[in-house]
């Protein structure tokens, strides 16, 4: 898994992060699926993911920071409606999630997701 580039890691990490966000929304709200989806989308966008990355970045090990850097510096084009800086930080977070998942480091992934969740609750 170490040979995967940042975009490949982010490809997997996007789904992992989305699953965490959807699980969190489902745990916190008893609503119709349309409303659950709307709430999940609020967590899974470049701006929200950039804020989430800022919450965990100071906690990263050297290895994790290197993976995040690879994701942030990946050559991918942000959609026209996205801030390039937010998009790069979101890609860093997704690459980190993908890496931790593929390496089987689920406890560490859970730990970082708890930090993100707490940060979101503190700023809600």
pLDDT tens, position by position, 59-71:
999 999 999 999 9
pTM attached to this predicted model: 0.91
pLDDT band (50, 70, 90) for residue 2? low
Specify the pLDDT at position 62: 97
Q: What is the mean pLDDT of the chain?
A: 91
Specify the pLDDT at position 80: 79
Q: Which of 53, 88, 47, 83 is nearest to 71 (CA)?
A: 88
Can you tell me the distance from the alpha carbon of 123 to that of 91, in angstroms, rounded to the nearest whole number?
22
Specify the pLDDT at position 76: 73
Can you tell me the distance from the alpha carbon of 64 to that of 49, in angstroms, rounded to the nearest whole number?
17
What is residue 59's DSSP assignment?
A: G
pLDDT (tens digit, 9 = 90+) per residue, 39-54? Answer: 888 889 999 999 999 9
Specify the pLDDT at position 110: 96
Q: Which two tokens stand for residue 42?
A: 């609020």
% of the chain beyond a pLDDT of 90: 65
Query: Which are the catalytic amino acids?
Result: 14
Can you tell me the distance from the alpha carbon of 71 to that of 91, in angstroms, rounded to the nearest whole number?
5
Can you tell me the distance from the alpha carbon of 98 to that of 3, in angstroms, rounded to the nearest whole number?
13
Specify the pLDDT at position 18: 96
Q: Write 16-25 long-range contacts (CB < 8 A, 24+).
A: 16/94, 16/97, 16/98, 16/101, 16/109, 17/44, 17/49, 17/93, 17/94, 17/97, 18/44, 20/97, 20/113, 24/117
Can you tell me the distance from the alpha carbon of 121 to that of 33, in angstroms, rounded to the nearest whole number?
22
pLDDT (tens digit, 9 = 90+) per residue, 61-120? Answer: 999 999 999 999 887 777 778 888 999 999 999 999 999 999 999 999 999 999 999 988
């Amino acid at each position: 898994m170490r040979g995967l580039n940042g975009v490949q890691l982010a490809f997997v990490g996007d789904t992992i992060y989305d699953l965490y966000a959807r699980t969190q929304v489902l745990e916190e709200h008893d609503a119709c699926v349309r409303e659950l989806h709307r709430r999940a989308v609020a967590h899974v966008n470049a701006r929200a993911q950039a804020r989430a990355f800022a919450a965990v970045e100071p906690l990263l090990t050297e290895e994790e920071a290197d993976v995040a850097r690879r994701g942030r510096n990946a050559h991918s084009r942000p959609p026209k409606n996205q801030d390039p800086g937010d998009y790069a930080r979101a890609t860093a977070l997704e690459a980190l999630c993908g890496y931790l998942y593929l390496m089987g480091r689920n406890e560490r992934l859970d730990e970082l997701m708890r930090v993100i969740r707490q940060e979101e609750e503190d700023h809600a």
